[in-house]
């Protein structure tokens, strides 16, 4: 599945990116990322280094999993393992959250602690769209 997600990322990178409103919360050695997704939005994430929870709070999203694409309607929680790279398509307006144990207390450090560096990613620290469009080999 990861190869399919990476191929999808190469195609998505050819288009303007949606910068999802994202809230970052730190508390008691935990980090929570809340991401609002309007219907029709497709986001390809980075590879995660650690296990964590992925929760669809409300709405319906199609999410890539090891078993294929899974349609999830919130509220529902799934477990993500290290090495996970997901593509998420919002079927409806949706709020999704991830929950992580962390040692870090800043966005820069959390990014380094939780996800692998991905020069092809369209997103930088804090879920911000990178300034320039990436060149993708055809």
Domain definitions of the chain by residue range: 2-116
In this predicted structure, the answer to whether residue 138 has a pLDDT above a threshold of 60 is: no
Residue 41, CA distances (Å) to 4, 38, 56, 85, 93 in order: 18, 6, 15, 17, 9
Q: What pLDDT is recorded for position 136?
A: 41
How many CA atoms lie within 13 Å of 31's alpha carbon, on the beta-carbon side?
21
Partners of 95 in the beta sheet? Answer: 36, 58
- Per cent of the chain over pLDDT 90 is 54
The domain defined by 2-116 folds into Jelly Rolls (2.60.120)
Q: Is the pTM of this model over 0.75?
A: yes
Lowest mean pLDDT among 14-18, 29-33, 86-90: 14-18
CA neighbor of 106 nearest in space, from 47, 28, 26 = 26
Kindly report the three-state secondary structure assignment for every residue of 15-62.
CCCCCCCEEEEEECCEEEEEEEECCCCEEECCCECCCEEEEEEECEEE
CB proximity list for 86: less than 8 A, separation 6 or greater: 5, 44, 45, 54, 63, 64, 65, 80
Nearest to 100 by CA among 54, 44, 47: 54
Structure tokens at 35: 């991401």
The confidence score (pLDDT) of residue 132 equals 45
Tell me the average pLDDT across 25-41: 95
pLDDT of 129 strictly over 80 = no
Report how far residue 138's alpha carbon sits from residue 126's, in angstroms, rounded to the nearest whole number: 29
């Amino acid at each position: 599945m990861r190869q399919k997600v990476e191929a999808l990322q190469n195609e998505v990178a050819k288009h303007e990116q949606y910068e999802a409103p994202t809230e970052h919360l730190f508390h008691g050695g935990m980090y929570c990322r809340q991401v609002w997704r309007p219907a029709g939005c497709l986001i390809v994430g980075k590879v995660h280094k650690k296990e964590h929870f992925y929760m669809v709070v409300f709405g319906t999203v199609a999410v890539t999993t090891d078993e294929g694409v899974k349609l999830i309607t919130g509220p529902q929680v799934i477990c993500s393992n290290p090495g996970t790279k997901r593509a998420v398509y919002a079927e409806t307006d949706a709020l999704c959250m991830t929950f992580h144990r962390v040692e870090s207390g800043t966005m820069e450090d959390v990014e380094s602690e939780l996800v692998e560096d991905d020069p092809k990613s369209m997103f930088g620290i804090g879920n911000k769209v990178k300034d320039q469009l990436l060149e993708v080999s055809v």
